Amino acid sequence: MADDESTSTVLVAGGANLLIAVAKLVAGLVSGSSAMLSEAAHSFGDTLNQVFLMASLRKSQRAADEEHPFGYGMERYFWSLLAAVGIFVLGAGFSAYEGISALTSPGESGSPTWPFIVLGASFLFEGSSFAKAVVQLRRNAAQADSGMLHHLRHDADPALRAVVWEDGVALVGLLLAAGGLALDTLTGGRTWDGVASLLIAGLLVSVAYGLGRQNQQYLIGKAASPELRAGIVDAIREADGVDSVIELLTMRLSPEQVLVAARVDLADHLTPEDIERAADEVDDRIRRRFPEVRHVFLDPTPDRAEERAS
């Protein structure tokens, strides 16, 4: 269900971005506005990113096999990382080039009428896509009993996270482009148009770095959130025969899958059969309380600190 909703969000964002990119390109060529051309590159980059995100959603749904026993969930983070690189290369790179060109080699600007019309229409389309992504984010955060911003930073589907940031930045970029055009219309130059392009480039660099950094953390084995880890420790301690949790290791395999490995100190009087029952109880408690935990590995280990103290 979550995958279907993320797919729908990505498709809406991709379709909106493609239409907007074409309109911005035409308006930019007609008016000669660097900010409009920068925004066109931004939207084309976002459209390509939606392709990457769709690939991540499809590839991550493959079942586990012998070579990938924990599944393909991390495909989400890999393709989302490529999407972040796409924002940087296509969007930020071209925007910076256009901004520098406008400032160093100013030319004649055309009528701003069409750019303003396109910017207004783009704001409506981008706003609709952004609203849909925010609605999904709010719903997912509520299901996880978490705040929206906390969920966006730590636990959100990488495809949803990318759409939220891309569309949010796109709205800010549209305002910057409109401001640059308006100031140049009033002053009769192209200075503010170039400044707006450079600001758009800086904005895209910041978002690309942020998204890339988040996905990089998951690709190198980021742990589950502190709240989830604390809940898992509590669930283990509540099981009969468990004296303490010595060490808990977690790794998020995908937005819906978490791996758990724990070293636990069991009561000394337990028989082999009791140990087996305790392990089964721990496994059941964790999976029932936290459905996203798909793999649980327990290592019964004596607490050496207690032994030294005695």
pTM: 0.73
Whole-angstrom distance, CA of residue 29 vs CA of residue 36: 8
Whole-angstrom distance, CA of residue 292 vs CA of residue 198: 42
Which domains are present in the chain?
A: 2-219 (1.20.1510.10), 226-309 (3.30.70.1350)
DSSP 18-66: HHHHHHHHHHHHHH--HHHHHHHHHHHHHHHHHHHHHHHHHHTTSPP-S
What are 3's two structure tokens?
A: 């995958």
Whole-angstrom distance, CA of residue 109 vs CA of residue 247: 65
Gap between the terminal Cα atoms of the chain: 53
Cβ atoms of residues 92 and 208 within 8 Å: yes
pLDDT in tens, the chain (310 residues): 455 566 777 777 777 777 888 888 888 787 777 777 777 877 777 777 777 777 777 777 788 888 888 888 888 888 888 877 777 777 788 788 888 888 887 666 667 787 888 888 888 888 888 888 899 889 888 887 788 888 887 777 777 888 888 788 888 988 998 898 888 888 877 788 888 889 988 988 888 888 888 888 888 989 988 889 999 999 999 998 899 999 999 999 887 889 999 999 988 888 888 888 989 999 999 999 999 899 999 998 876 655 444 4
Whole-angstrom distance, CA of residue 270 vs CA of residue 282: 15
Whole-angstrom distance, CA of residue 282 vs CA of residue 233: 10
